[in-house]
Structure 1
Amino acid sequence: MAVSNNIKGIRESKGICQVGLASATGYSTKTIGRVERGINAPSAEFMLRIAKYFNMLVEDLFHVEE
């Protein structure tokens, strides 16, 4: 199973750049970009931090592909 996400779309709709998201969550821009593109699978901690930053549910940002 793969985990897809809509981080980039939400981030861009809120006018937030990767640098801003990385700074606010403690992850590098490289990590943010690789997860956004689906190259890296996000850890549970990553998903929780991103969801908290956007004040959204994890399920609204990440989806399990079967």
Structure 2
Amino acid sequence: MRQGAVKAVAAAVRDPSTSGPIRPPGAFLEASACPHTSLQESAMADPAFVITVLAAFALVALVAKGVTKL
């Protein structure tokens, strides 16, 4: 088998690029700066998602119907 250039070089990272922790302890889940969405926005997103999914399935059905006629 042919060995690629990546496997041919046996180099390893010897020193870390940063000294110390990447983020302070306990800062994994921080509060976001954006405000929470309103109940109305959430209520409008659900029907929009359902309509989009139904439209996508209808489009797939039309394409499948057209393919079978070929």
Query: Larger Rg: 1 or 2?
Result: 2
- Say which structure is richer in helix: 1
Name the TM tier (shorter chain).
under 0.3
Q: TM-score, normalised by structure 2?
A: 0.18
Higher RCO by CA contacts (8 Å cutoff, separation 6 or greater): 1
- Say which structure is richer in strand: 1
Q: TM-score, normalised by structure 1?
A: 0.19
